[in-house]
């Protein structure tokens, strides 16, 4: 819902909070908002899960690089459903 609210209000966000961003970053945000508007709920959920998976993979790669250099780090992910969030 928050993501959809952001997309619906992207015009006001562009006018007020992006004034200090370079033009290429403003364009990227606008292009992403337009692309998101074209997705249905299932596609948005799938894209969100894919994004989470990519971020977790990137983090694991980073931790593996740290370990290769003798820095021991550990990460644990806890997934909550809507009923568990307070």
pLDDT, one tens digit per residue, over 24-35 is 999 999 998 998
Segment 52-58 mean pLDDT: 92
Task: Enter the tokens of residue 6.
Answer: 């952001």
- Report the distance separating Cα 84 and Cα 21, nearest Å: 37
Give the lowest-confidence range in 31-35, 48-52, 64-68, 70-74: 70-74
Q: What is the pLDDT of residue 15?
A: 52
Q: What is the pLDDT of residue 53?
A: 93
Q: What is the pLDDT of residue 27?
A: 92
- Report the distance separating Cα 65 and Cα 71, nearest Å: 9
């Amino acid at each position: 819902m928050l993501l959809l609210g952001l997309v619906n209000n992207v015009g006001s966000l562009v006018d007020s909070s992006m004034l200090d961003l370079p033009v290429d970053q403003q364009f990227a945000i606008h292009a992403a908002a337009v692309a998101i508007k074209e997705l249905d709920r299932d596609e948005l959920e799938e894209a969100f899960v894919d994004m989470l998976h990519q971020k977790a993979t990137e983090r694991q790669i980073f931790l593996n690089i740290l370990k290769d250099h003798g820095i021991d780090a550990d990460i644990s992910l806890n997934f909550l459903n809507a009923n568990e969030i307070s």
